[in-house]
Chains A and B, each alone.
Chain A
Amino acid sequence: MLNRQGRPTTPGDALQSDHPTFTGNKALSQIEPLIFETGRLETTGVDYEAPKPFVARLGGFERKSEIGLPGLSEPEAMRHYVRLSQKNYGIDTGLFPLGSCTMKHNPRLNEKIARMPGFSDVHPLQPVATVQGALEVMHTLSHWLLELTGMDAVALSPKAGAHGELCGMMAIKAAIAAKGEAATRNVVLVPESAHGTNPATAALIHFVVKPVPVREDGTVDPAVVASLAGPDTAAIMLTNPNTCGLFEKDVVAIADVIHAAGGYFYADGANFNAIVGKARPGDLGVDAMHINLHKTFSTPHGGGGPGAGPVVLSELLAPFAPVPFVRHTEDGFELVESEAEAANHGAHAFGRMTAFHGQMGMYVRALSYMLSHGADGLRQASEDAVLNANYVRACLADLMSLPFGNRPCMHEVLFDDAWLKDTGVTTLDFAKAMIDEGYHPMTVYFPLVVHGAMLIEPTESESRVSLDLFIATLRDLAMAVKRGETERFTGAPYHAPVRRMDETRAARSPILKYTPPEPILQAAE
């Protein structure tokens, strides 16, 4: 019998034209209203029983009107957030070249291990006898962090980079106070190219910040540091590699100058991922350094997950490390929880940074990353990160401008906007056009020491194929700038779910609260 279900299966001419839709959606690309606009006041996804009569004890201040929150059914609420998540861009979507942020791949093995119940379901107040495995992870992680940095002690608990900076600077402050110099030694030197958190951290604990100008080549000159250092110098805060993506080649001389003045060397470890396995901060004269576990050792950076910023300390600062810390004894692992207990072990802990023990999940992920890579793998990750950044630099140097000349960089490459001069296209426009091409832009307008900065950090996660497509895209955009196709940039993004924001108006007259249209307001009353 003839099957009569056959039909033409070539699309024909209709493919060529743009078809507006009734809903405004474009198949999988869906318009998502605010949750307030989707929901209805009379709807709820939960079936509550009416409360029993009760006497209010709020003295007449209890709410008498409707609260005005929109109700959604469970599928509506779920679809709202899933649709929003589909408009998001993350490291699981594509290359994420955000310089200084190290948006590297998070190996799924880390997630598997972190979800084991012995790690994910522990409570910070559980008896230590029942969390020996978790404590061993903390102890082993501490060991490897000290091994990789060449330092003497580590405080695991700080929750992220800036918190780690605060911890390290508090240890320095405690060491200065112990020497009886608290009143006189209060100046912290911070290079112009530093992360903004450095001067903010120093100021927060009442140090006086003195800026250090950078040389023509973007690095810090030990002679300039020497001219600024003196008996009032508490510390220098230096990032190495620095925020221009350059290795501070005089770092040892700078450390010597600071130590000779009686100060301490705080290293911002945000860029440690460029030198892991290649150089040990302890050998460079560093006294304190935070490590962004979420940058250097993966963990869910960019996925919105928590960070962790352990701080490693030199022999001079080690006694002042905060509690808690893990000790390994004959009877197993124990937690040193108080300053009095720490004193029993000869330490002068300056206090504690967190109520409990820090981000257990991050410790597990970081250790999983370390152990699965091994020493050779960690070294190769650093080498590949630096190689990838230099590959991007070498492939774009003829079209875009490098503020410090075409010389090797570390894990990130910094361009400025000199090449955009008089084109009618700004760094911001260029970044917006990258969104249309399906890339998250690089870091723009940071560091402040160069004009119209574009800081690209491809990370070690990207393959040659992936880098080549990224480079080809930037070359195509750069050549479009040079051909004068300014509209492609000044109007971008054209294809994002939301077009370019009016940042000035948003900053001058921000709307911080949803106001329902009139009929809904009346219904609520």
Chain B
Amino acid sequence: MNRSIVEVSDLSHTYMQGTPLAHRALNRVSMQAAKGECIAIIGHTGSGKSTLIQHLNGLFRPQAGKVIVNGLDVSDPKVDIKLLRRQVGLVFQNPEDQLFEKLVGDDIAYGPFKMGLPLAEVKERVEWAMELVGLSFEEMKDRPTFALSGGQKRKIALAGMLALRPKVLVLDEPTAGLDPRSRQELLQRIRRLNQEERLTVIFVSHNMEEVAQLAERVYVMALGQIACEGTPRQIFGNQEILREHHIGTPEAVDILYKLREQGYGVDPGAFLPEEAAAEILKLINR
């Protein structure tokens, strides 16, 4: 495995520090992401997920602890924050809300222009980013943004981020509010970015099917701390963790647990429907 590209150690964060309303959102959180890895962060609302990912591109600076991304130390006051933000593309929840240019191409070009790149390169990046999210450059660049569907707008927002050519892509609830079709399509795009473009992907999600499909490694957060960490197989295969942290289980896992309660020897870590079916076939073909 490669050296970590994201290295968070002992990170703590308190909102409204020094007031009666002070609220500790992160408490000595440590996590790593290796180059090219795909990592899911799951946990209840208010567990600190959002606060954690906002440290990765320097929207928050560490109050205590360290965050180092691709060699840049986020806690260093002299760090080039714009360079950092180009290396870590943070896509917020419902990113389609942030589109503001009339035309699709212009909106995606916003970031590269802000970097001060020459027109030719901006154009090249926009084209590249649009192809990556599955939008035809020629066909879509001059379309008005407001007339597009929610799923398409979200792809445009994602392209706007990719045009900065980040090394790490951080996504907050990437598929929330999308219909099954757009969700599947977006998930495939993200997977391709991770596998073909070797982009390190860190995403926050409450959809366990999605976590099961995408993630190589999962961090479970609770009360501002990392409650546990492991592969989806390890996490979903451990019912105590799932129960304790109110993590929804993928349906397939739920079925396997029910079988196990009845005394069948199945592996509940088989979280994909195909795998679960294979486990069941083992039972009935024997």
A binds B: no
